[in-house]
Structure 1
């Protein structure tokens, strides 16, 4: 049996005034509610973006693991149902996209961890089976795409993992790459900026990880960055599990999550200075296991859960603090 499902994306919340802000703007951005997700409220769903459309599916509604999949078109602020996920109903799977094709796999069916993987073609609205994830089955893994390849690693079953694998869509094959340094982890977070992936957080042996790394696929090399825990320069503490992330321009955003209690904060990572700055508080309910994505310069956070309460709302973050109708 697997464990630690109740603990997700952890972030130890501290005061915004305790964070360095010397080279940032005074604008903390603004949240506005978007069109509610049209499926049933859920947590631990997958999410990927292809051709400026977000795809969200599977997850857990508190009773059942799910297979339905929906797409969100920001230009219409509307959701549309697409073909159901073809594998077992599941939660805690991962999703990424490469060249307009979505890839979804791993996760848990409620009794066992999974390793099967599928590709989704938005043009034909069809799923196809691809090569299984090559290592141990797992849930709560982390995934990202770089330079036409997909990467999946970490996660848990009876054990937690720190290994990573690269998926080549051209050859439908997986290759092991360097493991993330430091701790094993489940329910970590990741985002991509300028050809590098940034991975941190998660939990291992009941402890929220605070180590944080950048991965360069060109050299297959991980670089250790400033800790997510406060130090002599930066007074913040950001260890968390099952957080939501998105990227806008050259900045990565870390939102909500769980550190033993559900969170409702938002932080932005400044790559050049390697530090985090607290931004405008998420305006929905505190939560973890939510989806996160970005399209056309806006970030989105939605679904997820607090305790046994699950959500179907979606919120849009404008880093410039301007609502669509021009209101502040």
Structure 2
């Protein structure tokens, strides 16, 4: 669906807060390099969703108060009160072709349907080669959503509603033949319940709730047969515990706090891992965590999580503008971060993290 109209007005974006501290004496280690990979053809945005199907990344929905009018080729609105419903797929080479923005282009696909297609702060994930989107905040700015949709790369189909309370800032992930939605904010409470979606019969069931602290604005790594949920905040306070769910047993295993040392010694050199609305992706046997905010202060520090040894290590900070509520995704075993917001300015750029390169600020 081709966009035809897009122009801006100026409105601010508020950031929610929680508390964590950073030791200013700890230098960032310049291990790895961030490389520009072009910009989204559609409007800039924060609070969008992404999923990967058939080795192709798709992104959509989100919020940009600065865009007043935006329509598809049929004249249908793609934005309402700042909330978007458009979707795009990323065209890219399967392997990195050096430090270039060429050959990274976007193709607009069918927008999320229905009167509540306009949304932000939803969840997106894939089960096999089908992408799913659900929950989030509607364009009226106060109604939480629980409707749920599947996308096959061409068309959307509405599925059974999420059975938990309508919510925003939840975590969604898929592994094996099932999908999951957990945590989030339903307007009355922060949650840690957990529901499993079965695409074979279009059904949901409650499964073991997340152990530890309830939270919203959390992040997730999916690696092999486990999903690792961490970060976020609860009642405007930091959430530092990390938990991994096994896809076979559906049980949660405590993985420690978000620090480098996992014994009784707590080193505050590492507490700047703590954040809300961070961006996460996986490359090989490591997870990477960057961007987000802390007490409304934007964070650029990047951390690598070693799944085998259950340890964090500092890596090169995200380059270009610091941001929160940005996308993080992996495709072709490569990690990308893009969109998000810095203050009142929504972002549309994308960067790839090259873990084995030496940092080069000119890339």
TM-score above 0.5, yes or no: yes
In 1, Cα distance between the equivalents of 2:36 and 2:157? 34
Measured after TM superposition, the shift of residue 306 of structure 1 is 1.4
In 2, Cα distance between the equivalents of 1:56 and 1:13? 32
Which 4+ residue blocks in structure 1 deviate beyond 3 angstroms?
Answer: 8-19
In 2, Cα distance between the equivalents of 1:32 and 1:295? 15
Please state whether the residue corresponding to 1:57 is helix, strand or coil: strand
Cα 1:229–1:257 change in 2 (3 A) is same
In 1, Cα distance between the equivalents of 2:18 and 2:60? 19
In 2, Cα distance between the equivalents of 1:165 and 1:246? 22
Aligned counterpart, 1:155 = 184
In 2, Cα distance between the equivalents of 1:190 and 1:9? 19
Aligned counterpart, 1:225 = 255
Cα 1:154–1:47 change in 2 (3 A) is same
Deviations 1:104-154 (A, max 9, x none): 0000011210000000011xx100000000110000000111111111010
Measured after TM superposition, the shift of residue 35 of structure 1 is 1.4
Question: For 2:134, which of 105, 124, 132 is the aligned residue?
Answer: 105
Aligned counterpart, 2:166 = 137
**Residue 302 of structure 1 pairs with residue 333 of structure 2:** no
In 1, Cα distance between the equivalents of 2:358 and 2:332? 14
Cα 1:86–1:322 change in 2 (3 A) is farther
Unaligned runs of 5+ in 1: 20-25
Please state whether the residue corresponding to 1:236 is helix, strand or coil: helix
- Write the mapping of 1:14-53 to structure 2, written as runs, cut at 5 A: 14=23, 28-53=31-56
Deviations 1:197-222 (A, max 9, x none): 00011111110200111111211110
Are the equivalent residues in 1 in contact too, given 2:18–2:236 (CA < 8 A)?
A: no
Cα 1:321–1:164 change in 2 (3 A) is same
Question: For 1:85, which of 112, 132, 139 is the aligned residue?
Answer: 112
Aligned counterpart, 1:7 = 16
In 1, Cα distance between the equivalents of 2:38 and 2:19? 27
User: Structure 1 length normalisation: TM-score?
Assistant: 0.90
In 2, Cα distance between the equivalents of 1:27 and 1:259? 22
Deviations 1:270-299 (A, max 9, x none): 122211101011112111100011122321
Cα 1:33–1:224 change in 2 (3 A) is same
In 2, Cα distance between the equivalents of 1:12 and 1:50? 38
Unaligned runs of 5+ in 2: 1-12, 67-81, 94-102
In 2, Cα distance between the equivalents of 1:180 and 1:239? 18
Are the equivalent residues in 2 in contact too, given 1:298–1:319 (CA < 8 A)?
A: no
Cα 1:10–1:200 change in 2 (3 A) is farther
In 2, Cα distance between the equivalents of 1:299 and 1:144? 17
Are the equivalent residues in 2 in contact too, given 1:10–1:242 (CA < 8 A)?
A: no
Question: For 2:88, which of 70, 74, 87 is the aligned residue?
Answer: 70
Cα 1:136–1:301 change in 2 (3 A) is same
Aligned counterpart, 2:270 = 236
Please state whether the residue corresponding to 1:115 is helix, strand or coil: coil
